[in-house]
Amino acid sequence: MKRAYTGLSSAIFSLLLGLVASHVYAQQPPVAIAIHGGAGTLTRDAITPEQDAAYREILGRLVDLGHQKLLNGDAGLDVVVDIIQALEESPLFNAGVGAVLTWEGQHELDAAIMEGYSLRAGAVAGVKTVRSPIAAARAVMLASPHVMLAGPGAEAFANEQGLQMVDNSVFTTERRSQALLRYKAQQQAGITPVVDTKFGTVGVVVLDTAGNLVAGTSTGGMTGKRWGRIGDAPVIGAGTYANNASCAVSATGHGEYFIRHQVASDICARVQYLGVSIAIAANQVILGDLVEVGGDGGVIAVDAQGNVAMPFNTEGMYRASIDGLGNRIVAIYGEGE
């Protein structure tokens, strides 16, 4: 009888220990992260199995890395910059190394970052020699009185801040060189260039253990862009926005539409003032408003509770996320892939 009682006590103790552990876990502040690598970049029938696997591998690896950093208590600002810098170094994406080429055969890079606690933001546009545009954007936010710097001035500032400067050719890949040749040939033949060859972006949004929301975006812009064209990525409120009262958003797509409709801040405003969920707000804008005016693209968004939304109105959007409950997604196309 004594032996049975001891066994019962052990079982009850184990149960209580499990309940306590679950309670402690439940009390941990939620963290969440979402990553995108561009929308409308490769169609399902154009991507090879090797490319598909490569995109999924890096997206999965980086979302896991970023999530672990958040669980470790790293500041959201640092996590966003770290993960975007890894994307900037990958030739798979239109940001940093692997960025698209302008009509003149140069790279003009844009980036922005914003934190939701203070509403501080920093951005650079049209930089050609800064190794990491997102690092330059953070420097503008933290070490200058300004929000956006452009062109040679932004490069001079980045150099003064001790950021790595490189020759513009460092960002060039054979894939992007061929894309520019095809784009020019289509233009000269009077053929409307295929949208998939023209734009793409990388972005990260997070909720950290302090409850802070941060959004960052980095891009090479559109293939064949001219006259110093700047898209939505570095424009606060259009392609990048974060506010602890609502959400953090990073966008990707045809930037002119995202600028005109202030997509990122519009989504967060709907969450804050209409009281709708992040999923409803993002869907209304991306699958409703933008579709009505012909704007292609998508967003990643996270709210203060760790909910994630990643809608897009193109055939695909490279994306990965881990929400506040630990649900993990790595995908390229629509539901069911």
Catalytic residue set: 201
Asked whether 198 and 183 are in contact (CB, 8 A), the reply is yes
| Block residue for tokens 């954007």 | 137
97, 173 contact by CB (below 8 A):
yes
Measured CA to CA in angstroms, residue 92 lies from 41, 42, 54 at distances of 11, 11, 8
Which amino acid is present at 93? F
Pairing of strands 121-127, 240-242: unpaired
Sequence-ordered list of residues with C-beta below 8 angstroms from that of 245, at least 6 positions apart, any chain: 116, 272, 304
CA angle 89, 307, 17 (to 5 degrees): 105
Task: State the Cα–Cα distance between residues 187 and 222, nearest whole angstrom.
Answer: 14
Question: Environment class of residue 123 by beta-carbon count within 10 Å: exposed (0-12), middle (13-18) or buried (19+)?
Answer: buried
